[in-house]
Structure 1
């Protein structure tokens, strides 16, 4: 990858920007890029730090694993230094717990912005919060050694970092329930077959494949991509065809007016 001065480099997250392409790299390979509240805040900060010129964001990770999920230290009585432990949160006021989880979820939401196309390059383990972070992106390129798993239910919890909606959209309700309830691994072949992965490549080709996909995404005019992404997002929840037809007409009208110089 091109060596660039990072826009952000803290708490296991590094952001670099090259013109209209940004790269977010998880940089704590010794802990298999395990996640923490500080890590989530850094991801939020990365999203806020993106220049307006950025059109595509590639999310990648150093080391053998994309992310092994939540750092188990969160479940110890002491938790993380300077942070409320999950034990204390569970015993605290319900409103405070809800607000804290909402704050954590922000790290997983900005990837869906319509002005960006986000690509996760995933190798090795993507467990729990790691799986949900990959699901937060629009597209996923995975290595042949990828192992997705949603382990929250096995721990007596639920996936709460915005992963349930994209998982069901990609693989369907029944398979999503089975994946979450059993906590089993989903390997590369199944990931590609069920739609979790757009592309499977050898591990040594992962970064190059993600970069090639990013370059292809940058070929189309930006506003056309933005309008198309918004239409596809609406299509997933459209109540009927007429609603989607109306949205398509409005979007195409904006594009045509823009192309002939009559746009706002």
Structure 2
């Protein structure tokens, strides 16, 4: 069932699994403000009974990043150019960037597990979109690069937090400041990729992972995800307490005593 198909974004749902497809292969799924709004809309349209959201890109690349048209004086039709945005008040610029970030924030909500299926290039905004997901399964031709710094910018689409969490501060700084490519084998070695498979096997590997994830009871997965996502911000004792509270909820639910 197709719930959304516009501005280079397609959302389909099959039982407990939703698939968000970047559908602009002619431009290597280059991103634009319109695409970001569509991605945010897709998040709001995912049905409540969906447990897994797969993010994929059509064609040879996952996403080549921001469409360079954004940096031209004309920008995109019907959109303020980035140059015009820079000339506006700080409050408006901050609000605009916050709106763009909404496309990248919903993938880690507790009620779903999101999987990025990455092939070919995942550059800049494409890299950050892959980082927005909980898990990344990569084809052996995947190449990540954070090119914002080389353009005189910073990664601002929520990618810095998960990147540091995955690979550590020093490696994250080196990857971002140099803008170099991280190939699939290195991505797996340093923790960016959960799994690397031959390109022909990418869809099958994602389907297998999704199937394994839906095998466990939903509420147990939700509670476990919340525990793990909050672990870094809690002390050891706080995490112990959070584990106890979560387990108490699970035990009461299994005993038929839940609210």
Pairwise TM-score range, normalised by the shorter structure: over 0.9
2: CA distance between counterparts of 1:17 and 1:77? 39
Cα distance in structure 2, aligned partners of 1:14 and 1:212? 22
Correspondent of 1:213 among 204, 209, 212: 209
Within the candidate set 224, 245, 263, 2:258 is matched to: 263
Q: Structure 2: how far apart are the matches of 1:231 and 1:204?
A: 35
- Count of matched residue positions in the alignment of Structure 1 and Structure 2: 259
Report what 1:230 is aligned to. 226
Aligned to 2:102: 106
The alpha carbon displacement at 1:254 in A equals 0.3
- Residue 236 of structure 1: CA displacement? 1.9
Instruction: Tell me how far apart the structure 2 counterparts of residues 128 and 103 of structure 1 sit (CA, whole Å).
Output: 18
- Counterpart of 1:250 (choices 228, 234, 245) is 245
Corresponding position of 2:78: 82
What's the Cα RMSD here? 0.5
Distance in 1 (CA, whole Å) between partners of 2:132 and 2:100 is 13
Q: 2:104, 2:233 → 1: CA distance? A: 20
1:175 maps to: 171
Q: How does 1:129-144 map to 2 (within 5 A)?
A: 129-144=125-140
- How far does residue 237 in structure 1 lie from its aligned partner after superposition? 1.6
Cα distance in 1 for partners of 2:75, 2:232 equals 38
Query: What are the Cα deviations for residues 122-175 of structure 1, in whole angstroms up to 9, with x where unaligned?
Result: 000000000000000000000000000000000000000000000000000000
TM superposition shift of 1:101: 0.1
Is 1:55 matched with 2:51? yes
Q: Give SS of 1:58's match.
A: strand
Q: 1:23 aligns with which of 13, 19, 27?
A: 19
Aligned-partner Cα distance in 2 for 1:40–1:242: 39
Question: How far apart in 2 are the matches of 1:236 and 1:188?
Answer: 26
**Match status 1:43 vs 2:43:** no
- State the secondary structure of the residue aligned to 1:109: helix
Give structure 1 stretches of 5+ with no counterpart: none
TM-score (norm 1): 0.97
